[in-house]
Amino acid sequence: QKEVEQNSGPLSVPEGAIASLNCTYSDRGSQSFFWYRQYSGKSPELIMFIYSNGDKEDGRFTAQLNKASQYVSLLIRDSQPSDSATYLCAPTGGRALTFGSGTRLQVQP
Amino acid sequence: EAEVAQSPRYKITEKSQAVAFWCDPISGHATLYWYRQILGQGPELLVQFQDESVVDDSQLPKDRFSAERLKGVDSTLKIQPAELGDSAMYLCASSDGFAEAFFGQGTRLTVV
């Protein structure tokens, strides 16, 4: 089992819809969870950080964490074509950031 | 704004040649990572430094890859000899402890 599992996609949603991106992880010691966005040919950039169970909202982005189920998700409301990118999940528990393979999101105008 | 500097941005090399990448992290960041990213996959950790010490190099192919961070600041990743399968993006990132990692622009390596 991989440490971090993500559906590679592509996940295609129409403009204005909600995009839901999911991630499961195997290390129960993971304490913090990062979501990075990576545009094609560019480096990853952090968009959300969560460490407590429940929801964390930042603008159009909501991260949801369930440590008991070892599951973290990212919701993007009012999706825009500029949100089209690969979204990488990265749990950390005092070790190096380990990334999932990423989910490619396509927002159709 | 502080950023992670990497060079070169692009590198084309012939197989069996040596190649080196350089990274200068954000000032004050003790943790430095080297990742390899193959197209369509997530970044794969090659090595993690804490200051000048290697914390994790379990995924570094040590028969051909080496990494150093002699003074605990900038770092060099070397491949010798390069193989066709080494073609990838090599990303350097730095962080202050186990907080957010900031990435450089990466080095796109093509081995021919």
pLDDT digits (tens, 9 = 90+) for A72-105: 999 999 999 999 999 999 988 767 788 989 999 9
A44/B40 CB distance under 8 A:
no
Q: What is the mean pLDDT of residues B96-107?
A: 88
Q: What is the mean pLDDT of chain A?
A: 92
B43/A101 CB distance under 8 A:
no
Q: What is the mean pLDDT of residues A53-76?
A: 94
- Tell me which residues of chain A have a C-beta less than 8 Å from any C-beta of chain B: 4, 6, 8, 32, 34, 42-46, 49, 88, 92, 94-102
The percentage of chain B sitting over the pLDDT mark of 90, rounded to a whole number, equals 90
Q: Return the pLDDT at B98.
A: 65
Q: What is the mean pLDDT of residues B58-81?
A: 95
Q: Which residues of A touch B36 (CB under 8 A)?
A: none
- pLDDT over 80 at B5, yes or no: yes
Q: Return the pLDDT at A17.
A: 98
Which among B47, B50, B72, B73 is positioned nearest to B62, based on CA atoms?
B47
**pLDDT tens track for B16-31:** 999 999 999 999 999 9
- Tell me which residues of chain B have a C-beta less than 8 Å from any C-beta of chain A: 33, 35, 40-45, 48, 55-56, 91, 93, 95, 98, 100-106
Which among A49, A39, A41, A52 is positioned nearest to A97, based on CA atoms?
A49
- Secondary element (H or E) of residue A50: strand A45-50
Strand ranges (DSSP E) for B71-106?
Answer: 75-79, 88-95, 102-103
Q: How many residue pairs bridge chain A and chain B with CB atoms within 8 Å of each other?
A: 47
- pLDDT over 70 at A60, yes or no: yes
A99/B40 CB distance under 8 A:
no
**pLDDT tens track for A4-33:** 899 888 999 999 999 999 999 988 888 889
B101/A97 CB distance under 8 A:
yes
Please name the residues in contact with B55: beta carbons below 8 A apart, sequence gap of 6 or more: A96, B31, B48, B49
B103/A44 CB distance under 8 A:
yes
Q: Edge to edge, what strands does the sheet with A11-14 contain?
A: A11-14, A103-108, A85-92, A32-38, A45-50
B41/A45 CB distance under 8 A:
no
